[in-house]
Amino acid sequence: MKLVVIGLGQCGGRIADEFARLNIKAQSQRGIEIITGAFAVNTDIADLSGLRRIKPDPQHRILIGSRKTGGHGVGKINELGAEVAKEDADKVIDAMRATKRLPEADAFLLAAGAAGGTGSGAIPIMVQHVKERFMDKPVYALIILPFEHEEQTEERTIYNVATCLKSTYLTADAIIVADNQKYTSKDAAIRKNLTNINTLIVEPFYNLLCAGEEKKFQNIGAKVLDAGDIIQTLVGWTVLGYSKSHLSLLRSLFRRTHDFRNKASETQKGVQAMNEAMSRLSVRCNPADAGRALYLVSAPATEMHVDLMKELAVYLKNMAQKAIIRSGDYPRESGSLEVSVILSELSDMAKVRHYFTRTIDLISAIKKKQESGEGDSTALEGSLKDIPSLL
C-alpha cells in the first residue's frame, strides 16, 4: 500500500518525517516505495525547520497563515488553526498535485497532535478538502493524544482534543488514534523521548504497507495482504498494535516433537506474539467493540506453519468476536517473528469518550447561567453531538 502523508502542526510534521524515514528504510532494505509524497504543513517556521527527512523546499514544507501569525504559530488556539487552514488549503492541495507520483498512491494519511493549535484545528479542514479534491481515494487521519501532564495542567488541552476528534471523525474515512502516554519513558531526555515515541507510533505501519508492494517472489506471502484488505478494514475509530520477537527465543515454537507437554507449550508461545501485539495497542480499548480487524504475520517462510496461523486467527476471533477479520503472511528472512494488528470500526473507546465528557462538563460550567448542563452522556456517539465542531 502506498500513501501520501501530510503532517499538520509540530507533532504531525514530525510524524510525517518518520514516514519519510520509513520510506527510505523500505527502499534500502526491500527495494520498494511505500510513501509517494511526504509533506509538512505548519504556521510556525521554526517547527518546519526542525525536520530532517522531508524535502526542505516550499512544496514539501508548507507555511500557512503567515499573514495572521507572522510565522510564529497560533498559540494553541485550534479555532485559529482551522481558520488559516481554510484560507490556505489550496496552497497545500496545489503542492500535492505537483507530486509526479501522486496517482500511484492508494490513500492519504493526515497526521496531527490533538492538543495543539495548528494541527488540531487544521486536520479536519484539510481532510475535508483532500476528500473533495481526490474523491477516488480514502482519506485517513492519524491523531496523537496528549500526555497526562498536559491534560492535568491545561483545560484548553482537553477542549482542543475533543473538538479535533469530533471534527475529524465527521470527515475522515477512519481515525487512527495513538496515545503519547503509552509510549513515554520517564527517565529519557525530552528530545530523545519524543523521537522514540514518534518511531513507535509509526513502526506498526511498516510491514502493513510493504507486504502488498513486494516484487520478489520469495517475499510474497501465500495469502497476500494488500491495499484492498487494509482499505476494507479501516473504518471509523481505529487502533494499531505491533510486536516483534527474535526467533532465537521462539525456536521451540517451530520444533516438531512427540512430547505432549512440549506441544502444549508450543501452542502457548504461538499465541504470545499476538497477545503482545494486543497489549501494545496504540490506545487502550476493548477488542470486543471492534467491527473489523486485521492481522499480518511476518517471519521466515519456513517458520510460518499452518498451526501458527490457525492459533493466531482463533486468538483474535475470541478477542473480537463481532469483527470481520482479514489476515495475511509476509515472508521475510529477518530472524524475527512480527505481528501487526488493526482493530477498526470501534463502537466505543473509553479514552475518547473521556475527552468528550470532560469537554461537555467544561462547556456546561462556562454556560451555567444559560443552561443547567448536559454532561451526563456516556456513549461515544451520544456525547459526540455536544462537542463544538471546527468545520
pLDDT at residue 185 in the model: 67
Region of 75 please: left (phi>0), alpha (psi -120 to 50) or beta.
left
Mean pLDDT (whole number) for 121-146: 96
Helix axes 306-319, 260-279, angle to 10 degrees: 50
Contacts of 160 (CB under 8 A, 6+ apart): 76, 78, 114, 115, 116, 117, 120, 121
Higher pLDDT pick, 376 / 154: 154
Please say if the pLDDT value at position 122 is more than 90: yes
The model carries a pTM of 0.89
Give ∠ CA 375-378-379 in degrees, rounded to 5.
130
The CATH code of the domain at 241-344 is 3.30.1330.20
The number of angstroms, rounded, from the C-alpha of 305 to the middle of its chain's C-alpha atoms is 30
Please say if the pLDDT value at position 142 is more than 60: yes
How far is CA 224 from each of CA 169, 300, 365, rounded to the nearest angstrom?
Answer: 30, 15, 53
Q: Report the share of the chain in percent with pLDDT over 90.
A: 65
pLDDT at residue 214 in the model: 92
pLDDT at residue 386 in the model: 74
Please say if the pLDDT value at position 248 is more than 80: no
pLDDT tens-digit map of 46-97: 999 999 999 999 999 999 998 888 888 888 899 999 999 999 999 999 999 9
Domain ranges of the chain: 3-202, 241-344, 350-384
Band (pLDDT 50/70/90 cuts) for residue 388 is: confident
pLDDT tens-digit map of 287-304: 999 999 999 999 888 777
CATH superfamily assigned to domain 3-202: Tubulin/FtsZ, GTPase domain (3.40.50.1440)
Please say if the pLDDT value at position 43 is more than 80: yes
Mean pLDDT (whole number) for 141-168: 92
Mean pLDDT (whole number) for 332-357: 91
Are both 3-202 and 241-344 of the same fold?
no
pLDDT tens-digit map of 143-155: 999 998 888 878 8
Helix, strand or coil, per DSSP, at residue 10: helix
